[in-house]
């Protein structure tokens, strides 16, 4: 009896009844499918481990409880206020920077009473981009041991709007606040971190920057800019002992999102900030995106699903975003009309 040296391939060819080329191509594509299947499985396991098992970096690495200071922009409301409170609770002294002085005064008093750390405040309207304000901020932080920067200040459109109809002042404010202010504040802080050879920079990103978002095009572009900038900055500063992360979020209850009710997919600021501070150094839902984290569990799973199905740059996602924001715009315009009529 003669036994073939390639029993599997001979059987495969006979069953296929076709050329060797077709057989080899079939095996090649089957191998690709197997690799993709294994890759998806490993990424899924990694996602679950990062969400529910692994812990992020301990904030003591950045001087928590040891006299270090954290600077938070957009500190008086929403996510910024929660960063201020939770960092103070962990032992950081805090520099609170935001537009409304009365809110800063109240927050500083609350932090002192609850956590006994030092506070400093600076009213700062980032939309005006006054050089005197940046000079004042530089003077305020000059003697302080700043080790953490939270770039939280931001602005979106008042309602979804076609790009051709975006108000010029709103366009300028979004880019000035989201981009220019973030760059200039970071540039003030980075030399201090380099001198210390340690530090943490967290910049608030958004699914609006991850996913191209029609009717929020200026905001979407401004947040996408922060993605590239943060990744580039992280590579520059890592050898100097400084950690840089862009923090991605889907919807969070806040004045900016105009959402008040929480759900599985929409946490409140306290929940979101807690997940962020407990996962420093973990990408969670932002697997494959350097210097990026999607910390909240449902946001992470949502991102993972989109990226592993239709893809974030697909026309399906863009069209879905378009239809959703057209609907939101119609509702907002109807509400404004009712309020105008006093109904």
Q: Is 4 part of any known ligand binding site?
A: no
Confidence category of residue 102, pLDDT binned at 50, 70, 90: very high
**What is residue 307's predicted lDDT score, i.e. its pLDDT?**
94
Tell me: the pLDDT tens digits for 9-28?
566 555 555 566 776 777 77
Residues of the chain with pLDDT > 70, as a percent, come to: 94
String of DSSP letters for 245-310: EEE--S--SBTTTTB----SS---HHHHHHHHHT-TT--BT-TT-TTEEB-SHHHHHHHHHHHTTT
Query: What tens digit of pLDDT does each residue of 165-213 get?
Result: 999 999 999 999 999 999 999 999 999 999 999 999 999 999 999 999 9
Q: Pick the catalytic residue from 62, 219, 250, 296.
A: 219
Domain count, the chain: 1
Is 104 among the domain residues? yes
Q: How confident is the model over 36-48, as pLDDT tens digits?
A: 778 889 999 999 9
Does any domain span residue 211? yes
Q: What's the rounded mean pLDDT across residues 302-321?
A: 94
- What CATH number has the domain bearing residue 250? 3.40.50.720
Looking at the domain assignment, is residue 336 inside a domain? Answer: no
Question: Residue 54: is its pLDDT beyond 90?
Answer: yes
Mean pLDDT (whole number) for 83-105: 98
Annotated catalytic residue 296? no
Range of the domain at 230: 55-327
Q: What residue has token string 């340690």?
A: 198
Confidence of residue 103 (pLDDT cuts 50, 70, 90): very high
- Is there a domain that residue 271 lies in? yes
Q: What is the pLDDT of residues 247-301, one digit of tens each?
A: 999 999 987 778 889 999 999 999 999 999 999 999 999 998 999 999 999 999 9
For residue 42, is it within any domain? no
Q: Is residue 151 part of a domain?
A: yes
| Residues near 274 by beta carbon (within 8 Å), at least 6 away in sequence | 86
Q: Residue 341 domain-assigned?
A: no
Q: Is 286 within a domain?
A: yes
Strands 93-98 and 199-204: unpaired
């Amino acid at each position: 009896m003669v036994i073939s040296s390639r029993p599997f391939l001979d059987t495969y060819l006979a069953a296929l009844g076709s050329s060797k080329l077709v057989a080899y191509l079939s095996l090649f594509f089957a191998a690709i499918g197997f690799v993709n299947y294994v890759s998806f499985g490993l990424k899924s396991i990694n996602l679950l481990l990062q969400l529910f098992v692994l812990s992020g970096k301990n904030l003591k690495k950045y001087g928590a409880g040891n006299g270090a200071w954290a600077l938070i922009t957009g500190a008086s409301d929403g996510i910024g206020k929660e960063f201020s409170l939770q960092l103070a609770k962990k032992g950081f002294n805090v520099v609170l920077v935001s537009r409304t002085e009365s809110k800063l005064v109240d927050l500083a008093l609350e932090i002192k009473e609850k956590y006994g750390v030092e506070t400093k405040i600076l009213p700062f309207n980032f939309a005006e981009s006054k050089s005197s304000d940046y000079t004042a901020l530089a003077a305020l932080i000059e003697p302080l041991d700043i080790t953490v920067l939270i770039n939280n200040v931001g602005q979106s459109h008042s309602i979804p709007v076609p790009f051709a109809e975006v108000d010029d002042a709103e366009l300028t404010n979004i880019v000035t606040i989201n981009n220019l202010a973030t760059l200039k504040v970071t540039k003030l802080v980075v030399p201090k971190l380099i001198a210390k050879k340690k530090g943490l920079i967290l910049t608030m990103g958004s699914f609006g920057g991850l996913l191209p978002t029609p009717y929020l095009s200026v905001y979407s572009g401004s947040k996408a800019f922060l993605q590239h900038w943060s990744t580039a900055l992280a590579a520059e500063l890592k050898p100097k002992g400084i950690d840089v992360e862009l923090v991605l979020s889907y919807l969070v209850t806040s004045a900016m999102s105009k959402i008040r009710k929480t759900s599985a997919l929409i946490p409140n600021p306290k929940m979101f900030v807690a997940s962020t501070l407990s996962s420093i150094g973990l990408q969670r839902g932002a697997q494959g995106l350097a210097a990026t984290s999607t910390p909240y569990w449902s946001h992470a799973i949502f991102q993972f699903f989109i990226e592993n199905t239709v893809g974030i740059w697909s026309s399906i996602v863009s069209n879905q975003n378009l239809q959703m924001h057209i609907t939101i715009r119609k509702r907002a315009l109807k509400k404004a009309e009712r309020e105008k009529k006093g109904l």
